[in-house]
């Protein structure tokens, strides 16, 4: 999709973080109208100032989201930002986020019938199918801001030691397997020992837990895409907050997957890493497979 060819109205389903803001600004810069459904307790209120129309929505009330987009003539939309499943696991979480009938038409097998699982890919794929059935096609957020995908490169002045290279290789294999199982995309390792694996809590809390478990610090964090990553949702994303958490936890290396990881605040991140002695590197799968073969 090339959103710059002709003016149209795009729908934005916005979760937590800076990414929805960047995507909305890019679409506006290209001359398009943007209408946004901002997920409560997730989306940044500034989106109401950027977008042509904005509506707060509950994550489990899809009927309202569909009606809002269709009222604006939306045929193409994108998801951007993280949605924390932990809200549904809080006490009375389902009461505060009580689903509508549209939700149950699609998610009954996941939550009541229990014939389908509730991992991220399954739930998000169902959401994409739901909107498609109502004439709204979702595209990757990176279609609108391709420059956010980090390229294959050493991003910092400080390079990997041989010891750290071994940890990156070890962590990469582990993170890919966790991604294949749809458990998480981030792992923390040291000396080829697993310290922490991301699950429902998210990257920052995984890093914080690694810092608690590895008081000596000096651990490596590896964040990758799933082997069959659907770029329409749950794309690995890092920003300055990721590095700030890593520094506070005592980590020394952040390795990410090039071409499939969104890197926000890139220049700010590089400057922060250099100032704090953190090594940051982006590798693609071909480079990593070559490194593993040579090891």
Which pTM does this prediction carry?
0.90
From-to residues of CATH 3.40.50.20 in the chain: 9-143
pLDDT digits (tens, 9 = 90+) for 138-175: 999 999 999 999 999 999 999 999 999 999 999 999 99
CB atoms within 10 A of CB 2: 8
From-to residues of CATH 3.40.140.80 in the chain: 149-294
Taking alpha carbons only, the member of 244, 221, 255 closest to residue 152 is 255
- Decide which of 3.30.930.10, 2.60.40.10, 3.40.50.20, 3.40.50.300 is the CATH code for 9-143: 3.40.50.20
DSSP H or E segment with residue 123: helix 120-133
Q: What is the CATH architecture of 149-294?
A: 3-Layer(aba) Sandwich (3.40)
pLDDT digits (tens, 9 = 90+) for 21-78: 999 999 999 999 999 999 999 999 999 999 999 999 999 999 999 999 999 999 999 9
The per-residue DSSP string of 232-260 comes to TS---EE-HHHHHHHHHHT--EEEEETTS
């Amino acid at each position: 999709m090339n959103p710059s060819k002709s003016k149209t109205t795009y729908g934005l389903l916005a979760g937590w973080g800076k990414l929805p803001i960047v995507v909305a600004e890019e679409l506006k810069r290209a001359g398009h109208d943007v209408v946004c459904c901002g997920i409560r307790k997730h989306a940044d209120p500034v989106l109401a100032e950027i977008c042509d129309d904005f509506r707060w929505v509950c994550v489990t009330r899809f009927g309202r989201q569909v009606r809002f987009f269709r009222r604006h003539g939306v045929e193409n939309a994108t998801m951007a930002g993280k949605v924390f499943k932990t809200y549904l696991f809080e006490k009375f979480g389902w009461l505060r986020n009580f689903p509508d009938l549209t939700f149950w038409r699609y998610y009954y097998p996941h939550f009541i019938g229990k014939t389908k699982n509730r991992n991220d890919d399954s739930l998000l794929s169902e959401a994409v199918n739901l909107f498609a059935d109502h004439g709204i096609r979702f595209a990757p957020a990176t279609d609108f801001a391709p420059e956010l995908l980090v390229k294959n490169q050493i991003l910092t002045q400080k390079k990997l030691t041989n010891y750290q290279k071994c940890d990156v290789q070890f962590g990469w294999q582990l993170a890919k397997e966790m991604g294949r199982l749809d458990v998480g995309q981030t792992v923390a390792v040291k000396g080829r020992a697993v310290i922490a694996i991301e699950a429902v809590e998210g990257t920052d809390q995984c890093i914080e837990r690694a810092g608690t478990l590895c008081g000596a610090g000096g651990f490596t964090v590896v964040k990758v895409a799933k082997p069959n990553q659907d770029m329409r949702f749950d794309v690995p994303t890092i920003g300055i907050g990721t590095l700030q958490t890593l520094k506070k936890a005592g980590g020394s290396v952040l390795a990410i997957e090039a071409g499939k990881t969104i890197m926000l605040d890139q220049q700010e991140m590089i400057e922060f890493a250099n100032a704090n002695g953190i090594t940051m590197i982006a590798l693609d799968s071909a480079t990593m497979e070559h490194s593993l073969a040579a090891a």
